Structure 1
Amino acid sequence: MGEAFGLIIVRPLGLILLAIFKAVGSYGLAVILFALLVKLICIPLAIKGKKSMLAMSALNAELQQLQKKYANNRVKLNDEMQKLYDKHGVNPMSGCLPQFIPLPIMMGLYYAVQQPLKFMMGFSDEVIAKLANEVGVDIATAGYYGQITIAEKLGDMFQSAGNVWPEAITKITDGMGELLNIDFHFLGLNLAQTPSITDPGFIWIIPILSGATAFLSSYVMQKMQNMPSNAAAGQMKMLNLLMPLMSLYFGFILPGAIGIYWIFNNVFSCVQEIILTKYLRGKREKKEAEEAARIEAAKEAKRIANREAQRQQSLEAKKKKGDK
């Protein structure tokens, strides 16, 4: 991981996660609220993507006509489809972008979870090395989750000392960062643990739910969007098939905290999809109904004006005939 990515992306995410954790006192709940916060921040982009998808659905009839007309000329079909999109100001791929946004955030959260001493508490590598030595962890051989192991052992020391930090630990960390006792357990699961496909256990519930909720999210999206049958829709459907498999895979190679984040990201996505679709579709239908009513009113006004003009002409004709 580059220093710039750590400084610009991971550290701010770690601070946000830390702030939520300090507010609620539960690591698992903090991860869930973090996922909700990300979803709320991304709502403007989600609305833009949803509007584009609804606009695509409105063009479905015209797109099908183009597909029939240019069934044997793929190049011409793509050109005409692009002209249709440009005419109505539609970007067929803008609806896919909101699905990719959680991925870099998940990467940043991964490092914040993997290295809580550095990215949540703000300790330097030197301080972390001293803490590792104090709790008996060989940082050089501890592997990817060495900092989690150190944090867990620090938590054990904190509890053993009567919920206070031993003097040796405070001497190392005083003024160097914000030392906190993080309990990684949530609903009987150790969120610092990475589920192993070769070691079945209750923690398997995390990758299983991750894949299941991703499938549910894809299903809800397809049902709500009423996608037109074109190349962009095919790409979207392929993406919706891949997401559950990716979620299941991530669930088995990343710490449980990332799986919890992904599960609730999927759940919040389902709720957001249903609410935004109903709201924006209702708003669009209301606008179309008002426009249709305006056009009909204009036609009626024109008909009334024509009848009045004909009546005036008839009166003038009768008057002229009477004068004669």
Structure 2
Amino acid sequence: MSQLSYLFGSLLELIYNVIGDYAISIIVFTVVVKLLLLPLTLTQTKSMKSMQLIQPKMDEIKKKYQNDPDKQNQKIMELYKEHKVNPLAGCLPLLIQFPIIIGLFNALREPVKYVFGTEAAYKIADTGFLWVNNLASPDVILLGGISIPFILPILAAITTYIQSAMMSPKGGKKDPTQTMMLYMFPIMMLFWGISFPAGLLLYWVAGNIFQIVQQYILSKPSKAKEAS
């Protein structure tokens, strides 16, 4: 994880040396990383779409063979084979991306260690972003000594919800766990935003916006087929 953090830190430093603005560099850095991960994202999206297409038939099989687990599993495997769906195909990209995400988070949470090398260099770079005075501190307002999430934590929560909702299966029976996470994860992001550095939240918001646009573009062919 440490080596990945230094690798991404070096990439962010390179972008900063070209652009000269740390906040804009984080946004550009986010886009670059998302583009590098695009093949994995496309594989994951394709797998999820395939699973969504056969979900109604899976629900029928589960209902029909609810008292016969062995038969139920056999029929589901036959369904996977018939439609050439690999249920593990959507998990592999996530497993590969997990250490990458941790490496990214470490680099953005500790830019002095992983990006700039010294506190002095970081202070020169961190000139803030719009309403944020510095990207090392959380984007909060203090009311009676209590930290309240400000703009970036709220944007992080909203964009997380939109991005998750766009990835959720449409129609059919909803998985209670997925439904719970659809609402819980944005709330957790809002809560974490109280302590996360603004620079990290800027990366998260930029990444969510990129994925929302990407998902919208990818969903267009599917909607065109449904319309026809």
Please, what TM-score do these two structures have when normalized by structure 1? 0.59
Corresponding residue SS for 2:126: coil
Once residues 96 and 150 of structure 2 are traced to their aligned partners in structure 1, the CA distance between those partners, rounded to angstroms, is 26
Contact 2:10 2:114 survives alignment (8 Å): yes
Could you say if the C-alpha distance between residues 106 and 50 of structure 1 is closer, same or farther in structure 2, counting changes exceeding 3 Å? closer
1:178 equivalent in structure 2:
none
CA–CA distance in structure 2, aligned partners of residues 200 and 29 of structure 1: 26
Q: Which residue of 2 aligns with 1:88?
A: 83
Amino acid at match of 2:51: M
Confirm or deny: 8 A CA contact 1:112 1:119 kept in the other structure: yes
Aligned to 2:135: 191
Deviation (angstroms), 1:211: 0.9
User: Residues 56 and 90 of structure 1 are in contact (CA less than 8 Å); yes or no, is this contact kept in structure 2?
Assistant: yes
The one-letter amino acid of 1:229's match is: K
SS of residue in 1 equivalent to 2:219:
helix
Higher relative CO (Cα under 8 Å, sequence separation at least 6) belongs to: 2
- AA partner of residue 54 (structure 1): K
1:62–1:12 distance in 2 versus 1, CA, 3 Å: same
Q: 1:112-261 maps to which residues of 2 (within 5 A)?
A: 112-121=107-116, 123=117, 147=119, 150-151=120-121, 155=123, 181-189=124-132, 190-195=134-139, 199-200=146-147, 204-222=150-168, 225-226=169-170, 228-229=172-173, 233-261=175-203
SS at match of 2:193: helix
Q: Give the counterpart letter for 2:187 in structure 1.
A: L
Are 1:251 and 1:258, in contact at CA under 8 Å, matched by a contact in 2? no
Percentage of matched positions with identical amino acids: 31
Provide the alpha-carbon RMSD of the alignment.
3.1
1:31 alignment partner, one of 21, 26, 29: 26
Residues 59 and 48 of structure 1: CA distance in aligned 2, closer, same or farther (over 3 Å)? same
Aligned to 1:22: 17
- Could you list the per-position Cα deviations for residues 94-130 of structure 1 after superposition, in whole angstroms to 9, with x for gaps in the alignment? 4466567665444323332344343223x4xxxx5xx
Q: 1:226 to 1:93 in 2, by over 3 A?
A: farther
Identify unmatched segments of 5+ residues in structure 1: 129-146, 156-180, 290-324
Cα distance in 1 between the residues matched to 2:182 and 2:92 = 13
Shift of 1:90: 1.6
Is 2:218 aligned against 1:276?
yes
Q: How far is 1:25 from its partner?
A: 1.6
SS at match of 1:253: coil
Q: Find the aligned partners of 2:93 and 2:160 in 1 and give their Cα distance.
A: 14
1:192 to partner: Cα distance = 0.9
Deviations 1:146-203 (A, max 9, x none): x4xx546xx4xxxxxxxxxxxxxxxxxxxxxxxxx312401130211134685446x7
Cα distance in 2 for residues equivalent to 1:114 and 1:69: 50
Change in CA separation of 1:65 and 1:116 when aligned onto 2, cut-off 3 Å: closer
Cα separation, 2, equivalents of 1:64 and 1:116: 48
**1:12 partner amino acid:** L
Alpha carbons of structure 1 residues 248 and 94: separation in structure 2 relative to 1, 3 Å: farther
Contact 2:109 2:200 in 1 (8 A): no
CA distance in 1, matches of 2:191, 2:86: 31
| Structure 2 gap segments, 5+ residues each | none
Counterpart contact for 1:112–1:120, Cα < 8 Å: yes
Given that 1:50 and 1:277 are in contact with CA atoms closer than 8 Å, whether structure 2 keeps it comes out as no
Compared CA separation, residues 216 and 98, structure 1 to 2 (3 A): farther
After superposition, residues 305-320 of structure 1 pair within 5 angstroms as none
Amino acid at match of 1:207: P
Contact 2:51/2:87 (CA < 8 Å) preserved in 1?
A: yes
